[in-house]
Amino acid sequence: MSLCKTPLIGLTADSFRHPLDLQATKSLKQIPGLDMMVRNWLGPVAEQVFYVENIAASVLVGEKQLPDLYALLLEACKILDIDPPQLYIRQHPAPNAYTFAMRGKQPFIVLHTSLVELLTPQEIQAVIAHELGHLKCDHSVYLTPVNLLVLAAAIVPNVGTFIAQAIQAQLLEWVRCAEFTCDRAALLATQDPKVVMSVLMKLAGGSPILAPQLNLDAFVAQARAYDDISKTELGEMVKATRTSQLTHPVPVLRAREIDRWSSSQEYQSLLQNHGKSTSEVTSTGGWRNW
């Protein structure tokens, strides 16, 4: 069965950026000298290490290498109106995906094999689009060196530890807020909230064996219940404690945000205002869901 999606011509990052992301980014940029320190200190070395290590240990996707995955990338890029980055597949038992970008260099996305094995093609595209959201919003250009700065604590204890501790809470808050924006990018690319929420459900409690047995409606109800509980004073305190050291918001919270935003006028307006072109992107659905 074919699915038609509307390309969002002229889509800008600020048109779908989550307000928490905008606020957290402004706060992070106010840290004195952070950007300059990272560029001059870690940037040149980290750039070479990450690029060489990734090329050596991963498989580059293209027209002649895993072409179905490559087609999902190109389709998502067309919908989100962004130039395609490189896409790599890496053997790893932990389901994950990440983006690496340095200013002036070609960015790339990495998908772990365990993630690909866990998800359907449309869900894989949602993950790819989430990573494209980092690029669309310039998250990766800023996120990559800052993450490296935190990791530098183990390499240069005296300087690195002091800086990392000083910005850790603020950095993690920013990263979590940025994830909300990128989940929106995943929704804009798939144009189906159930696909995005299904990814979150499988990341929370799925496996190649359990995934087909999971009930999305029950997970959405769970997300809404979490929202109700979090409105209490005790619930807010538990939620804050639970998430303060995480790099991502908890999956049910992300699902609740997508559930809410997919029903908003803001989301519907984005599809209508940027989808005025008569052309459509067609997904052939050539992969079987598992």
pLDDT at 24 (0 to 100)? 79
Asked whether the predicted pLDDT for residue 277 surpasses 50, the reply is no
Evaluate whether residue 3 is within a structural domain. no
Read off the tokens for 7. Answer: 């390309």
Structural domains in the chain (count): 1
The answer as to whether 286 is a domain residue is no
Split at pLDDT 50, 70, 90, the class of 107 is confident
Gap between the Cα atoms of 201 and 169, Å rounded: 27
Q: Show the domain range for 122.
A: 13-275
Residue 258 belongs to some domain of the structure: yes
Decide if pLDDT at 282 tops 60: no
User: The tokens of 210 are what?
Assistant: 């359990």
* pLDDT on residue 116: 97
Measured CA to CA, the distance from residue 272 to residue 258 in angstroms comes to 18
Residues 148-207 have pLDDT tens digits of: 655 555 455 554 455 555 556 666 667 778 899 999 999 999 999 999 999 999 999 999
Residue 201 falls within a domain, yes or no?
A: yes
Residue 287 lies in a domain: no
Mean pLDDT of 202-217: 93
By the 8 A CB rule, do 167 and 216 touch?
A: no
Mean of pLDDT values over 24-46: 65
Calculate the average pLDDT of the chain: 79
Query: What's the CA gap between 159 and 240, in Å, rounded?
Result: 29
**Model confidence at 274, in pLDDT bands (50, 70, 90)?**
confident
pLDDT at 4: 78
Banded model confidence at residue 244, pLDDT cuts 50, 70, 90 = very low
Q: Give the pLDDT of residue 268.
A: 93
* pLDDT score for 275: 62
Q: What angle do CA 270, 287, 252 make, to 5 degrees?
A: 50
236 versus 30: which is more confidently predicted? 30
> What integer pLDDT is reported at residue 269 of this predicted model?
92
Q: How confident is residue 251, by pLDDT bands cut at 50, 70 and 90? A: confident
Task: Please state, in angstroms and rounded to a whole number, the distance separating the CA atoms of residues 47 and 108.
Answer: 12
pLDDT band at 280 (very low <50, low <70, confident <90, very high): very low
Q: Could you give the CA distance from residue 11 to residue 256 in angstroms, rounded to a whole number?
A: 24
Residue 280 belongs to a domain: no
Q: Is residue 49 part of a domain?
A: yes
Residue at 219 is within a domain = yes
The pLDDT tens digits for 37-86 are 555 655 566 666 777 777 788 999 999 999 999 999 999 999 999 999 99
The pLDDT tens digits of the residues spanning 122-143 come to 999 999 999 999 999 988 656 6
